[in-house]
Chains A and B, each alone.
Chain A
Amino acid sequence: MRFALTPEQESSRRTLRELLARACTPAQVRAAFSGSERGKSALWDQLAEFGLLGLLADPELGGSGLGPIELAALLEECGRAAVPDPVLETSAVTVPLLSAWQSDPRIAAWLERLTTGRGLVLSALDATPYVNGAHLADALLVQVGDEAHLALRSEVELLPQESVDGARRLFRVSFSPREDSRVARGPAVSRAFAEAFDRGALAAAAELLGLGVRMIEMAIEHAKTRRQFGQPIGTFQAVKHHLVDAHIGIAFARPLVYRAAHSLAHADPERRWHVSAAKAAASEAAWRAARKALQVHGAIGYSFEHDLHLWMKRVWALAAEWGDAAWHRTRVANAILGESV
């Protein structure tokens, strides 16, 4: 038993953190939120070059051949920086889905374009009603029950759905499946999409940890510098205890996330409820961190000019997507309680 990242994983995580500190500043997050950026971001190519998009793909197809543990560690960093691009949707969801059918040359070609940042493919799962960033996609992998279809952007209809998080451009996707758009069919397809959903949930949980950590850091910084009654507000126990509660939530959700990542990496038969425990805990911990960070910031945090709300709104979105806490706890309950009704 060794429950820690390897030095290589730590180093790759550090490198990404440094990259994001330069290439994904709060000003860029804000720009994405306000919709002043159109089209593919400058960050996207750097993330592709870093190997983040193709993390789970075969090296022959531009991927890194790594697994869910690296995915969790790197997406935690993306959460920390509130990366606005659809990283989760590609690296955790679409890339492994396409990889399942990479023996099909059309799919292999899309996969390579995706991992190298030259083309964007996103997935529309039955279990996720909206596709984030679909307007930028060149193609969409669409689940239709037990069938997978590949459609060009021009072949689908996108109905925009505005999100509280302006950086998330959501669309409801309508598509009429055709014989020649079908990539695969059968129980294996349903399984592949179910696994993709679990990877999405794990990735969202990891991002939520990072979002929570960053909000707590912002609040600590504020509590050290903001003075009231002649002293930094961070000296007050009421303020301290808010931040400790936020910290404890994240600190105890994190091991569940990495344990779930490990279970996915080793195809543990219990992996689905491990993912659910992780997503439930991370969703609630990040949500609580958002509440506590806002309370510690006071009215400054409530202003649009302050960056806190950019992180907070991402939390609201990701806590609810890929199964919210209650949905995932029900899945844990179904796995462990075994009650006879």
Chain B
Amino acid sequence: MDLRFSEAEEAFREEARAWLAANVPDAPLPSGDTREGFAEHLKWERKLHDAGWAAVAWPKRYGGRDATLMQWLVFEEEYWRAGAPNRVTQNGVFLLAPSLFAFGTEEQKDRLLPDIAAARTLWAQGWSEPGAGSDLAALQSRAERVPGGFRLYGQKTWCTRGAFCDAIFGPFRTDPAAAPHKGITYFLVPLKAEGGSVRGTGRLDGDEGFADVFLDGVFVPDRDVLGPVNEGWKVAMGTTSSERGLSLRSPGRFMASAARLIDLYRRYHASADPTLRDRVVRAFIDAEAYRWFTFEVATQMAEGKALGPEASASKIFWSEMDLALHETALALLGPQAELESGASDAADGGSWMKGYQFALAGPIYAGTNEIQRNVVAERVLGLPRK
């Protein structure tokens, strides 16, 4: 056990810190879940890519830096500490790409990964359907075999930033006669193609962050099938483990949130209830716990262990921690908590209420926490399914 960072890790940290200090925009960008904000964020994404920071853990030839997992965690700590913008390329970089690395052909990786890193192709996740959320295997969208590929039919819903993206990735039914988890194939689907239409919808925070995607015969060539036909469930499960595990919400993000909460506490504690002191410390300790838990997991992965169902425990922990952290901030703010960014009295640009609304989605997306608890119970603790 050696919890000190190596010289290479420290050097990497210094390099990232210096670049971020010189390049992170002074004022926060408008929300990336609005049209204007998304465009602003893309400029940032391209800047990040040009400097080689868009996907640090990827091989260089795809636009990365060949960084280790530990270096990626270090980069994330610096990224969020610097107050850098949320990543609107999140779904491509951290959800699709790990599936491509695990299941993609060389041709697919060469063709798709550089455009993901460079934010030239923008990807949304096309998983949920009106009748298939937590129960993903109930999905009804289907793909029919045609010469040279497939034609896709059906509706995907709650696609984050779908209205601003070029393509979706997700599972479609290719064998309706098979059992629910079989007969599913993973497709990479263009949105601006004949037969496709997208309708942005508002989320509870008012941003157009959701989209419905309607597919009526959109053609997908064979080369855009990810993994074997009828084995898409395996690909999807590979994605969920990246989603719930390290890559979706790295500890650096919550370390930065906890630091901001402490800063807020210093400004507001005189007017706040004394019991809030304990809640601030709890939030801080939880962020620390997630950080060190993740270093444990990263050590195991570096030594060859696959990220398994423990990822679900991680997702439960960080999503509930994030909620508690934001609720503590709102309690500190008292009557200012409800003020939105336009209000002159709003603290920190109204970002705490905005952040709270975002945090509320945490226990829902990437598989609700109820489903995650079932996964941990059955696959980590060994409790019976039936």
Contacts and interface: CB of A to CB of B under 8 A. Distances in A.
A144 to B, nearest CB: 33
Interface residues on B, range: 35 or more
A4 B300 contact: yes
A4 B278 contact: no
B266 interface: yes
Interface string B293-330: 10110111011000000100100110000000000000
Contacts, number: 143
Nearest to A277: B285
Given A326-B278, A336-B262, A220 B299 contact: no
Given A244-B316, A252-B290, A337-B262, A1 B299 contact: yes
B212 to A, nearest CB: 30
B277 interface: yes
B48 to A, nearest CB: 24
A326 B274 CA distance: 13
Contacts of A234: 377, 383-384
B222 to A, nearest CB: 41
B1 A69 contact: yes
A126 to B, nearest CB: 25
A255 B313 CA distance: 14
Interface string A1-44: 11111100100000000000000000000000000000000000
Given A1-B70, A240-B373, A329-B278, A256 B1 contact: no
A262 B386 contact: no
A333 B280 contact: yes
A247 B386 contact: no
Contacts of A152: none
A5 B3 CA distance: 11
A197 B364 CA distance: 43
B292 A259 contact: yes
A287 interface: no
A302 to B, nearest CB: 22
A337 B289 contact: no
A220 B381 contact: yes
A248 interface: yes
Given A253-B289, A329-B282, A3 B383 contact: no
B205 interface: no
Contacts of A69: 1
Interface string B1-36: 111111001000000000000000000000000000
B105 to A, nearest CB: 34
Contact of B381 (A3, A235, A247): A247
B231 interface: no
Nearest to B320: A248
B285 A237 contact: no
A223 interface: yes
A252 B293 contact: yes
Interface residues of A, number: 49
B283 to A, nearest CB: 11
A201 to B, nearest CB: 14
A4 B290 contact: no
A258 interface: yes
A75 interface: no
Nearest to A5: B1
A280 interface: yes
A185 interface: no
B181 to A, nearest CB: 19
B384 A224 contact: yes
A326 to B, nearest CB: 7
Contact of A1 (B3, B376, B378, B384): B3
Given A241-B373, A244-B377, A333-B280, A3 B316 contact: no
Given A1-B70, A4-B1, A237-B370, A333 B278 contact: yes
Contacts of B313: 244, 247-248, 251
B80 to A, nearest CB: 18
B292 A243 contact: no
Contact of A252 (B289, B300, B373, B383): B289
A248 B369 CA distance: 12
Interface of B: 1-6, 9, 70, 262, 265-266, 269, 277-278, 280-282, 284-286, 288-290, 292-293, 295-296, 298-300, 302-303, 310, 313, 316-317, 370, 373-374, 376-378, 380-386
Given A1-B299, A329-B278, 11 more contacts: A1-B4, A2-B302, A235-B386, A240-B377, A240-B383, A241-B377, A247-B381, A255-B295, A326-B278, A330-B278, A337-B269
25 contacts: A1-B3, A1-B298, A1-B299, A2-B3, A2-B299, A4-B300, A223-B383, A231-B386, A234-B383, A234-B384, A235-B385, A244-B373, A247-B380, A252-B286, A252-B289, A252-B293, A255-B289, A259-B3, A262-B3, A329-B278, A329-B282, A336-B284, A337-B262, A337-B269, A337-B281
